[in-house]
Amino acid sequence: MAKKKDTRTRNWTFFVYPESAPSNWREILDSYHVPWIESPLHDKDVNSDGEIKKAHWHVLLMFSSKKSYTQILEITGQLNSPNPQKCTNIKGMVRYFAHMDNPEKFQYEKSGIIGHAGADPLTYLSVTSGERYQLIREMIDYVRENEIDELQDLIDYAIENRYEDWFPLLCDNSTFIMNNYIKSVRHRVKNNKRNLASHMASFLLMQKGAWGFTPNKRVCSTE
């Protein structure tokens, strides 16, 4: 007799619609004491014909053991949420909550992705290698265009203006390259100033020789 396929899984995702969900739907999910993640309200998604889709939240439930479709229906039924789906890629799903990998879709704020019952969305929002290189390039452009000569100035700017992308990158693994780039910029500026001063001195000496100019010596006498 063939062994029955196990269709259970630990991670499930589904929609919650503001118009049909009970007002305490978050409290209902919290009562299960299961880590779960909530997307920003998707109210700007459009169909292929340009029509605005019905506003909805995406929800991801992450159990410590496998659950069946029927077991999840017992939960989603309380929220009037249709057809829960298995989630095979947590990171991909959480990134989809903000459409991070779908530039053709409306880009929701990553800060609107909320973890509940111990779930940490930041675990799944780490940048890819390609995104990291692009963000580093943005920081280098900012340093160059704004003549930044101290790492503190870059970090302060990131805290105030780029907290979601530049700041985590600077905290984790990009401080070394940015600090060295800023030092290099500062060193070049000093060298340029030194060279300019040297050129000016040489120019004045040349002019002195050409004109037979001798600077007046200021004589100070004391009585």
Q: Which residue has the tokens 């060295």?
A: 180
Q: What is the pLDDT of residues 134-167, one digit of tens each?
A: 899 999 999 989 988 899 999 999 999 888 788 8
| Backbone angles phi and psi of 109, in degrees to 5 | -70, 130
What is the structure's pLDDT at 174? 86
- For residue 72, the model assigns a pLDDT of 96
Cα 200 to Cα 182: distance, rounded to the nearest angstrom: 27
Work out the average pLDDT over 184-203.
66
| Average pLDDT estimate for 1-18 | 86
Mean of the pLDDT values across residues 111-133?
88
Residue position matching structure tokens 């006498």: 221
Structure tokens at 199: 């050129």
Integer Cα distance of 29 and 12 in angstroms: 13
The mean pLDDT of 215-223, rounded to a whole number, is 49
CB atoms within 10 A of CB 183: 13
pLDDT by residue (tens digit) across 75-109?
999 999 989 999 999 999 999 999 998 989 999 99
Region label for 82, one of left (φ > 0), alpha (ψ between -120 and 50) or beta (otherwise): beta
How far apart are alpha carbons 8 and 63 in whole angstroms? Answer: 11
Weakest mean pLDDT among 126-135, 154-163, 179-188, 189-198: 189-198
Model pLDDT, residue 219 = 45
All structural domains of the chain: 9-124 (3.40.1310.30), 129-202 (no CATH)
Mean pLDDT value across the chain = 86
